[in-house]
Structure 1
Amino acid sequence: MHYYLITPLRIVHGSRAELTYESEDSVTIGTIVLVPVGKVSVPGIVIGAVAKPTFATKPLASIIDPTPLPLPLLQLARWMSEYYATHPVTVWQTLLPRGVQKKRRLSTKSAIYPKRSRTTIVLNNEQRTAINAILQHPTGTSLLHGVTSSGKTQLYIELAKKATNEGRSVIILVPEIALTSQIIAEFTPDFPNLVVTHSTMTEADRHTVWLQMLHATTPQVVIGPRSALFSPVPNLGLIVIDECHEPSFKQEQSPRYSALRTASKLATFSKARLVLGSA
């Protein structure tokens, strides 16, 4: 018999955030499971394995998805709970899509986004200098300053191409108001399988896209607002926050997190680069 600490996605008053459950089969850390809490079953995240406890335990009900969450997301959830003094369940409810326990049919077709036809882009001296300075450091944070239309987007594209060629995934955060067909069209010529998330997606669409990222075996390039930071992409290597001075990168409800500070920690956990773009 195996024993695991699991965080149910429901706050149990008078109880710890992590509860102990048993399982006849071995379960990978980060797996999303279904566990009994009182008279109902709720989704939960396997946080760690433990020795057999001295008290009686309940068996986990089932495995919702055998593909575990990336380890950096588990580390990030724990850090957010401690740093922002927020209940772990509230953090996980922020990181995971709604309806995570529901079965979704994954689409084999990629979404079709507008594509901007263009000639071969030649970087100018300032752009090449900036690219080389960022690439000198495999990890850490870089601040990219340039007025609107100064060519920052092309630098993001070049850095993303470099990351994906090395087998690393990329997350591009933009203010919700800036998530337009124009910026998407800039990325699609180089990344035809670009993943786009936004607040107007339905619960089912958001969950389906999330599952496709979780199950991906190749590098992903994701573009979206603040919430896209928690995309379960494999082997994250680059995070870009465009217009990082915008107030929309701070969440006002609990957990009241800053996307910049949180992205910095996720980059550290992922051994990835973080690029902050500002005008």
Structure 2
Amino acid sequence: MALSRVCWARAALWGSAVPPGPYVARKLQFVRSGLAWGAPRSSKLHVTPKTDVKSLISYVATKTKVIHEKYHRFLGRHFPRFYVLYTIFMKGLQMLWADAKKARRIKTNMWKHNVKFHQLSYREMEHLRQMQRGTHPSKHDILALRECFSDHPLGMNQLQALQMRALSRAMLLTPYLPSVLLRHRLKTHTTVIHQLDQALAKLGIGQLTAQEVKSACYLRGLNSTHIAEERCRTWLGEWLQISCSLKDAELSLLLHSVVLLSINYTGTGR
């Protein structure tokens, strides 16, 4: 082995073509490979930015849930009667929206697949029957609640995240945003509709074409696909009477009217 090293050193100095021994050749090959590959990689795990974002979202969601629970306990402790009414109203609104959404899905499937009422399953028939038995609120019923929607807890600035998500779905807007952005977008959207209502009231519904009437109803939460044009004009007239009677501080009622005024409206006489 010593002789091989001497030969290799002499070849390097004198430029001799004498090859090194097999052991030296293997060792040199290993060293060259190590230099080509670079330093060995660290075995430590690196936390990706996605992991940090998920942790932050989870933390914010947990804190928001805790604050929401504390808020409900505060209302229940200091304002028990009001809290009962508030809870009943919110749960009723959520159940009403869920029932209306299910009924709309059933009717859409009936229309797509040309299914008659008697061809539905028992539960679907019963659900539609119960929804049709419900009463459609009049403009006087809705306007009588205007004071409840101008301040806490149903004012625009006091709406909870759960309420804003439900209202965003009703307005065909994505609900998957932070509460601050949801509130800002709902305010902007409702204000624009209110301004459109005032302009439409000056123009007159009679000046709109059939397609414009359908589009206007759809924008305000009414699925006008299977409703006659005359009934759509009647509904739009009721909406305008409500909208033009509200002040800017009461626009939360207009936002909720997307649900209240379109529920159980079948396009037939009352």
Query: When the two structures are superposed, what TM-score results if normalisation uses the length of structure 1?
Result: 0.20
Rg (Cα) greater in structure: 2
- Structure with the higher fraction of residues in helix conformation: 2
Query: When the two structures are superposed, what TM-score results if normalisation uses the length of structure 2?
Result: 0.21
- Structure with the higher fraction of residues in strand conformation: 1
